[in-house]
Amino acid sequence: MDTKTWLIVGASRGIGLEFVRLILASGHRVVATTRSSGSALDAIARDAPDRVTLLTCDVSTSQSITSFIDQFVQSGVKKIHYAVINAGILEYPNRALEMTFDHFAQHLLTNAVGPIIVAQELLKLSDVSIGTMAFMSSDSGSTQRFLAYEDGFAAYAASKAALNQALRHLAEELRRKQRHTVILALHPGEVATVMPLILTEAQEADAPRIAEIHMAAFHDNAMLLAQFPTPAIRAELFNTLVQKARDEIRDPQWAVLVVRDEPEFQPQQQGTAEDGSEVGQGPRPAVVSFAKWRRPIEELRVRSYVEAPWQWPAGTRFDILEDWTRRVEAVASRVVGTRPCYNLSYIATDPEHERRGAAAMLVKWGIEQAKKDGVLVALESTKQGWPLYEMLGFKAEGLLTMMLQGIGEAGAEVLYEEMFFVWRP
């Protein structure tokens, strides 16, 4: 067999990681990049050290691209049969009327500028031949075929449009210079590659991690700061969240779910229990996201089921907490009434693991359960979550607002908003 050498830029997970697996399974050689060590790619490289070369590259920074080129030169590779530039992001806010300067700039850097500069620097290496360069693009970037249902992806679509146009120019310039590298822009569509995430039911031992993620995700949430106004109260709130998570994990009315990193992403941890038995054989996947679903179990309602109450910390602003609760219940009563539904009480992702699809996995679980039972899904969401729920088919059916005193800059009053969303089968 004629062994080929592939370069995969952005191979830590998803499409890029699956490319690496398939290429190695076909007997070829891979030069693969990640932004940092400690990924699933490391384990693959350990199993095939003679056919995998690992390099680091973050396409959103010029310094990292320069370092990557230096690493590539030092690797001694002189011929790349196929290069796949796979790096890309999709972050929120993404709408044209909502995206920030920084979010838009980051999309352009990661999805367009970085990939083009990586290609440019590789093509400058006079002693390296490259047969084909394929770039992961999207039909979202088409200027002729606007997809109306994607109107919430302005930053992403614009960055892919920029990439597509730059690739047309790159291909033409190479043709004029009689360079024979083929340039491809690929639209992969929806893919079924396995991201390094696992959805499971929570265990009681996960309760402290669930509370930790809750506090990390909502640390600057205006409503949380108003209801629990001092660092000391918020420290006690952590303990409240731990106990409540344990109560709900034991409660048949609740489905407490977590998303864990795939084991190969975590360091090996093992030890010896007090009785001398070995514990922790192999890695324990880290929890990176959680969701608390209240299920419509009719049997419990008939038995006059009573949920374990919250044990709020001393100093809680009950006037704000109870006022907000009344507003939420009023909208829920108007929109859902007494109809059975799956209710998403809380969902949060560790900020270090955002934009990996964990939240979507947790929400889709509820949707699938609701489909089976033929019932609604209801939830209220902060603004950051609105695009995700809209993308998953939820409809906004009630705006929740409340003025909060002393939360803004210099103690200014701020308007706090959430949206009540409903998914219908």
Query: Domain check: are 146 and 98 in the same one?
Result: yes
pLDDT at position 268 = 37
Query: Domain check: are 174 and 299 in the same one?
Result: no
Q: What is the mean pLDDT of residues 363-368?
A: 94
Answer whether residue 148 shows pLDDT above 90: no
pLDDT digits (tens, 9 = 90+) for 15-25: 888 899 999 99
**Does 118 reside within a domain?**
yes
**Does 392 reside within a domain?**
yes
Answer whether residue 180 shows pLDDT above 80: yes
> Which pTM does this prediction carry?
0.56
Query: Domain check: are 239 and 365 in the same one?
Result: yes
The band of 276, judged by pLDDT with boundaries at 50, 70 and 90, is very low
User: Which residues contact residue 349 at a Cβ distance below 8 angstroms, ignoring those fewer than 6 apart?
Assistant: 213, 217, 259, 288, 289, 358, 359
Answer whether residue 132 shows pLDDT above 50: yes
Query: Domain check: are 178 and 208 in the same one?
Result: no
Query: Domain check: are 355 and 333 in the same one?
Result: yes
Domain that holds residue 49: 5-186
Query: Domain check: are 222 and 150 in the same one?
Result: no
Answer whether residue 161 shows pLDDT above 80: yes
**Does 101 reside within a domain?**
yes
Q: In percent, how much of the chain has pLDDT > 70?
A: 87
**Does 355 reside within a domain?**
yes
SS3 call for 161? helix
Q: What is the mean pLDDT of residues 280-291?
A: 69
User: Which residues contact residue 142 at a Cβ distance below 8 angstroms, ignoring those fewer than 6 apart?
Assistant: 161, 164
Query: Domain check: are 235 and 369 in the same one?
Result: yes
Q: What is the mean pLDDT of residues 23-42?
A: 83
Answer whether residue 238 shows pLDDT above 80: yes
**Token couple for 89:** 């992001």
Mean pLDDT of all residues belonging to the chain: 86
Q: Which of 140, 166, 186 is the last residue of a domain?
A: 186
Beta bridge partners of 414: 404
CATH (domain of 89): 3.40.50.720
* CB-CB contact of 380 with 399 (8 Å): no
**Does 90 reside within a domain?**
yes
Answer whether residue 134 shows pLDDT above 60: yes
The band of 120, judged by pLDDT with boundaries at 50, 70 and 90, is very high
pLDDT at position 239 = 95
Q: What is the mean pLDDT of residues 89-103?
A: 79
**Does 50 reside within a domain?**
yes
The residue to which tokens 């007494």 are assigned: 338
pLDDT at position 147 = 57
Answer whether residue 278 shows pLDDT above 60: no
Query: Domain check: are 167 and 217 in the same one?
Result: no
Q: Which of 167, 186, 205 is the last residue of a domain?
A: 186
CATH (domain of 401): 3.40.630.30
**Does 176 reside within a domain?**
yes
Query: Domain check: are 247 and 150 in the same one?
Result: no
Q: Which of 151, 186, 221 is the last residue of a domain?
A: 186
Query: Domain check: are 62 and 209 in the same one?
Result: no
Residue 265 or residue 329, greater confidence:
329
pLDDT at position 277 = 29
Q: How far is CA 185 from CA 6, 96, 128, 168, 169, in A?
A: 17, 24, 22, 9, 12
The residue to which tokens 């344990």 are assigned: 246
* CB-CB contact of 412 with 374 (8 Å): no
**Does 390 reside within a domain?**
yes
Query: Domain check: are 351 and 414 in the same one?
Result: yes
Look at the chain and report how many structural domains it folds into.
Answer: 2
Query: Domain check: are 174 and 208 in the same one?
Result: no
pLDDT at position 399 = 96
pLDDT digits (tens, 9 = 90+) for 367-422: 999 999 999 999 999 998 998 999 899 999 999 999 998 887 777 889 999 999 99
